[in-house]
């Protein structure tokens, strides 16, 4: 594989968790790009991530006003012809995947990265991969602390959920 994209969401630092976990930072080191699907919450945390690798991020519903003004609600990325959509996702959890699939198809994305639920999920739905990295700081219910990776090859990609300690 040629490139590694680290995928995170729902950090909630410092409002729900004091700092970025060391285990997360360890997993981010070496990534070509960090994709964040929102709820970074503070500009200082975005700057800390940018010290590790280039960051492509969107704002979430719990981001500061400063971050909501700086970051878009949706971002469309192109990595060697692979189109990745990034959004936080809002609203009820019960139909979130359906809404993400609809958005991915409308935007022409092969992968849509989203968050908001704090639960990791990887699902292939026809031609679209729905990827929710979960939360590395404050997962919901029995979900593990987690993130994801996208491994990009010349003509292929592989996604994986990573459980953090």
Instruction: Say if residue 134 is exposed, middle or buried (CB neighbours under 10 Å; 0-12, 13-18, 19+).
Output: buried
Q: What is the pLDDT of residue 1?
A: 57
Q: What is the pLDDT of residues 81-92, one digit of tens each?
A: 999 999 998 777
For residue 149, the enclosing domain spans: 3-163
Mean pLDDT score across all residues of the chain:
93
CATH number at residue 83: 3.60.21.10
Q: Are 89 and 115 in contact (CB under 8 A)?
A: yes
Residue 12: left (phi > 0), alpha (psi -120 to 50), or beta? left
Residues 17 and 100: their CA atoms lie apart, in Å, by 27
pTM, two decimals, is: 0.95
User: In total, how many domains does the chain have?
Assistant: 1
User: Could you tell me the sign of the dihedral formed by the alpha carbons of 84, 131, 159, 64, in that order?
Assistant: positive
Identify the H or E element spanning 165.
none
Match 């490139």 to its residue by tokens: 3
Q: For 17-119, list the strands marked E by DSSP.
A: 33-36, 55-57, 74-79, 82-87, 111-113
Other beta carbons within 10 angstroms of residue 46's beta carbon come to 21
Q: What is the pLDDT of residues 28-81, one digit of tens each?
A: 999 999 999 999 988 999 999 999 999 999 999 988 899 999 999 999 999 989
């Amino acid at each position: 594989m040629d490139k590694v994209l680290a995928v995170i969401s729902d950090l909630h630092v410092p409002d729900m968790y004091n700092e970025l976990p060391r285990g997360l930072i360890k997993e981010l080191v070496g990534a070509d790009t960090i994709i964040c699907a929102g709820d970074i919450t503070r500009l200082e945390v975005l700057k800390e991530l940018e010290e590790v690798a280039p960051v492509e991020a969107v704002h979430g519903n719990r981001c500061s006003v400063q971050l909501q003004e700086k970051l878009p609600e949706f971002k469309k990325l192109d990595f060697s012809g692979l189109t990745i959509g990034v959004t936080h996702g809002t609203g009820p959890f019960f139909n979130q995947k359906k809404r993400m699939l609809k958005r991915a198809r409308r935007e022409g994305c092969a992968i849509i990265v989203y968050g908001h639920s704090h639960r990791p999920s990887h699902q292939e739905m026809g031609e679209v991969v729905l990827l929710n990295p979960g939360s590395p700081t404050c997962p919901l219910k029995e979900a593990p602390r987690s993130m994801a990776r996208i491994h990009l090859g010349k003509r292929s990609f592989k996604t994986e959920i990573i459980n953090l300690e």
